Structure 1
Amino acid sequence: MATLSEIETWLQDRLPALLAEHQVPGTAVGVLFGGEVIDHAAGVLSKATGVPVTPDTVFQIGSITKVWTTTLVMQLVDDGLVDLDTPLRDYLPEFVIGDETAAAVITVRQLLSHTSGFEGDIFNETGKGDDAVEKFVASIADVTQLFAPGEMFSYNNAAFAVLGRLIEVLRGKPFDTVLREHLFTPLGLTHAATDPYEAILYRAAVGHIRPAPDAEPVPAPMWAMTRGMAPAGAMLAMRPRDLLAFAKFHLDSGTAADGTPVLSPASVKAMQEEQVKLPKLGMMGDSWGLGWELFDWDGTTVIGHDGGTIGQNAFLRVVPEHGLAVTVLTNGGDTIELYKTVVGHVVKELAGLDLPALPTPPATPVPIDVDRFAGTYSCEVVDVTVRQDEDGKVWLDQTPKGIFAELGPAPDPVELVGRNEESLIALKAENGVHISYVFVGNESGGPALFIHSGRAIRRASA
């Protein structure tokens, strides 16, 4: 096995070449092992300025924020203020969605495990004030219910904004304030920002996007998403060392480095227990806990989460059995390829683990009934059409909507082949991943829902 010092040397030697190979403008990497932390950085904050990234650079961590929000909810559980299996309405009577029957029974546990069933990719702009989360929750009153609460998994950003509002109501303070008082301060974090106004006080990375599918990444036209979605991951930024301090306190049964109890051991354990299994989707976990994704790496349990904002991607993997955590923070380019190389090397050298291979198209595609799957599937942020051309090939077309339509042109059509009877897989890898698409049938035999990047999307037309 390697030492941390050897890992640090490898990062110093390899990161610049890896950034160039994968067109990643900048990265900061941190590794926690045996209670010690190393970090290293390479590249630039922005191609527009050329300012170098350092280990103290703050990157947006995106949806890794959801684990922080979950931790704040579990603190409420520890304080006797929340029961996970009580309907949310008991604590948040203002919660209204399009399906009143569902709204009345959705529990806190279902929100935390992405099983509440309502459409989750809602990015309504509700301002920059302390009432942004409250206004966001009010703005989803007509959101569609996709399936009965608790029936299955569908990744849900809006659910975590709702949880953020629950935290605000029960703590009597804005979400950002609670985050700082209940996590940043007791964990001793020094380079963490809850919004752009704080991030600018540090060496902050700028996201990069591709103006066309084959173009090189360029600085994104905006830094952050709407504040109303902050509890889901719209704004939180930090350096790797601070993110690893958060991971370490979860490894240490909820105790901060100075011995301060921040979360009960029971709640730490509960967050890592399986709540729902997932179909094989590639980068996502094999199952989901409370906040955490759960991975099975050849019999070893790994917990983690990824995050993506406007041109920034973050990766966190924690191996409790080995006291190991690694994070890779990036600001554009083929970030998954960088993740695979860096995290793959670290876990192999320090824990003897092989990073599981991502799904690839079968050598002989599985025959599929295209008529059963063909059609248009629609949600708030994208319309997805599955079609067959005159040569018999199956294609997926995507038309982004809302904020995502403003970030660049629609993606090129994706050719799909049969992976198994219920799923298709992209023939060509995108950012290092052959994306899988799973279809969920209804009583009449046709697919009512289409699982795209972990989200269930309702069929709009055949």
Structure 2
Amino acid sequence: MQELAENSFASVIEEYNVPGLVVGVSHRGQSYYYATGLASRAGNIPASADTLFELGSVSKLFNVSLAALAEARGDMDLNEQVSERLPDLEGTAFGHLSLMDLATHNSGGLPLQVPETVASTEGLVEWLADWKPSEAGTRSYSNISIGLLGHITSNVLCMGYADTVEQDLFHEMGLQSTWVNVPEEAMARYAYGYDRKTDLPIRVNPGVLDDEAYGVKSSARDMVRFLELHLGHADAPKDLSIALERTRQGLARTDAYVQNMIWEQYSWPASVEQMIKGNSYAYILKPQPVEEIDPPLPPQEDVILNKTGSTNGFGTYVALLPGEDLGVAVLANRNIPNEARIRATHAFIQRVLADRQ
């Protein structure tokens, strides 16, 4: 597995001058790790399976897992309207969206980022009261919608978002090194990211709904456990298993993939070009036509589900192939372009499957 990972990722590491990269793998109930380079150039600290990386938008997978868990416990219904949980949005376009719309980016034109003029969640709700969808019936990737889903869920559970995921969800998942707010005793394992333009050490900056949309830090070891939970190789409470299955239902169809709760699903085997298309800037920055799947598709076997995540200094990619009993997490302290991550990981997956036949 070490050689397969090195052969797959060496050229990406060289081309983008990646300081450190760790690959975690779950395959047929066994876990493997490949680590190379440095978590921090200061002190020459090596990267390892226990190094903490910023997950960026891979954090959204935990956001929807928490929402699905709250639903599985009977605390809320993902089909209810946003205005039922945020009464200030009663009678507005955003208030008319369902919580599931927030989990699938089905807003019809929300921007990617919270407007610079908005300084708080309360201010964002005020902004949304006047917002109108620019392209109704489209998928619009946005930190606003998913961020508010996390905000709503944590309100339902009567805690702040960071406390809710750390004390409830991460505990239920058995994650030992996953946090929004990294505790002092773990800071020595928290890597520094390196800015793609300046090459200076950097960590994520605070922002409105940052915890909910892109604020989780985790290790390759914990991300492998997350994948093992999805693959059925880790013990989980019944309500958590129900919730994770819920996140893998097919809910809408774009011309590139099937949209699950944050997960993006392709039939397997999938061409690398198709996956690059679905992870392109067009799908991040521009509204895309979408067709609702009703009733939802149950979790599929012969598929690959994926999610990218980035902050200014970090790049993450996770892929899950239930039918191959395989999950891969790639964590780097450089924001590697999506296309390069996907090409390298796709090649790695092909090598793993060929090697294990």
Assess if the C-alpha contact under 8 Å between 1:113 and 1:291 holds in 2: yes
Tell me what 1:145 maps to.
132
The answer on 1:277 being equivalent to 2:253 is yes
Assess if the C-alpha contact under 8 Å between 2:94 and 2:129 holds in 1: no
- Among 16, 23, 30, the alignment partner of 1:22 is 16
C-alpha distance 103-122 of structure 1, shift in aligned 2 (>3 A): same
- Unaligned runs of at least 5 residues, structure 1: 1-6, 212-216, 281-285, 354-462
- Among 270, 295, 299, the alignment partner of 2:266 is 295
Over the matched positions of the two proteins, sequence identity in percent amounts to: 22
TM-score (norm 1): 0.63
The answer on 1:181 being equivalent to 2:175 is no
Tell me what 1:268 maps to.
244
C-alpha distance 101-227 of structure 1, shift in aligned 2 (>3 A): closer
- Among 226, 241, 265, the alignment partner of 2:221 is 241
Per-residue deviation at 1:249? 1.3
Tell me what 1:230 maps to.
211
C-alpha distance 196-85 of structure 1, shift in aligned 2 (>3 A): same
Assess if the C-alpha contact under 8 Å between 2:68 and 2:246 holds in 1: no
What pairs with 1:387-406 in structure 2 (closer than 5 Å)? none
- Among 102, 110, 113, the alignment partner of 2:93 is 102
The answer on 1:73 being equivalent to 2:67 is yes
Alpha carbon RMSD of aligned pairs, Å? 3.0
C-alpha distance 258-278 of structure 1, shift in aligned 2 (>3 A): closer
Tell me what 1:122 maps to.
113
- Unaligned runs of at least 5 residues, structure 2: 271-301
C-alpha distance 113-13 of structure 1, shift in aligned 2 (>3 A): closer
Assess if the C-alpha contact under 8 Å between 2:21 and 2:333 holds in 1: yes
Alpha-carbon distance between aligned partners in 1 of 2:181 and 2:126, rounded to the nearest angstrom: 21
The answer on 1:203 being equivalent to 2:189 is yes
Alpha-carbon distance between aligned partners in 1 of 2:87 and 2:67, rounded to the nearest angstrom: 17
Tell me what 1:343 maps to.
345
SS of residue in 2 equivalent to 1:45: strand
C-alpha distance 209-201 of structure 1, shift in aligned 2 (>3 A): closer
The answer on 1:155 being equivalent to 2:149 is no
Q: Deviations over 1:25-56 (max 9, x none)?
A: 11111000111111121112244553221221
Report which of the two structures shows the higher radius of gyration computed on alpha carbons.
Answer: 1
Per-residue deviation at 1:160? 1.3
C-alpha distance 88-337 of structure 1, shift in aligned 2 (>3 A): closer
TM-score (norm 2): 0.80
Per-residue deviation at 1:89? 1.1
SS of residue in 2 equivalent to 1:27: strand
Tell me what 1:447 maps to.
none
Tell me whether 132-141 or 223-232 shows the greater mean CA deviation.
132-141
Per-residue deviation at 1:13? 6.9
Tell me what 1:257 maps to.
234
Alpha-carbon distance between aligned partners in 1 of 2:170 and 2:141, rounded to the nearest angstrom: 26
C-alpha distance 227-200 of structure 1, shift in aligned 2 (>3 A): farther
Which one has the bigger helix percentage? 2
C-alpha distance 55-335 of structure 1, shift in aligned 2 (>3 A): farther
Alpha-carbon distance between aligned partners in 2 of 1:68 and 1:32, rounded to the nearest angstrom: 18
Per-residue deviation at 1:138? 3.5
Number of residue equivalences = 324
Tell me what 2:314 maps to.
312
Alpha-carbon distance between aligned partners in 2 of 1:81 and 1:12, rounded to the nearest angstrom: 45
- Among 192, 199, 219, the alignment partner of 1:218 is 199
Tell me what 1:86 maps to.
80
